Amino acid sequence: MTDQHHIAALQTYWKRHRTFPSMAKLCEVVGLSSTASVFALVGRLCDASYLERVDGRIAPGARFFARPLLGPVRAGVPQPATQEEPETLTLDDYLIDHPERTGLHRVRGDSMKDAGILDGDLVVVEHKSATKPGDIVVAVVDGELTVKTLVLDDKGRYYLEPANLAYPAIRPTTSLEVLGVVVSVARRVRR
């Protein structure tokens, strides 16, 4: 078994349990027969930043949740397949610039479908970000939470606009507080 297979076994275990097993159980999880082999594996994976040691236990390292970033794929006419060595990337690295002020919101409804935000999607929202007209934002308008496009009218008043003609614009009657700017959308296409 290669280290990549061992990493995959550890990732599967982590996904199910949100922790790593004891060193004795680790032999079974990664398919090694001796604790000396497991110690050597852990050492290699720590050196490569897949794991780290924290208070005498192992924990996920910086590269543990990284996935291979394979070559581009056309959505039109097929292209020749390449065999390049892929780099790795975590979804956090790709989607989140400011982890200390980023959260996720699950979208309910179809008022933003023409902006590509569908019912059930997760929007990645940067809180405490500067906003400008045209940004898609998560906001509290008149005490109710929504995701819409922030618009500034010709009188200098902000309002929220859906991305679906079946819904009207929302003009606040008492208050409008922008909680954050939508910076990306995540969607599962197969469950």
Active site members: 111, 148
The token pair at 149 is 């496009």
Cβ 146 vs Cβ 138: under 8 Å:
yes
Phi, psi of 147 (to 5 degrees): -120, 125
CB count within 10 Å of CB 80 equals: 4
Closest Cα to residue 174, out of 151, 139, 143, 138?
A: 143
Phi, psi of 85 (to 5 degrees): -70, 120
* Residue 76: C-alpha distances to residues 79, 118, 189 (Å): 9, 23, 19
| Burial track 48-70 (b if 16+ CB lie within 10 A, e otherwise) | eebbeeeeeebebbeebbbeeee
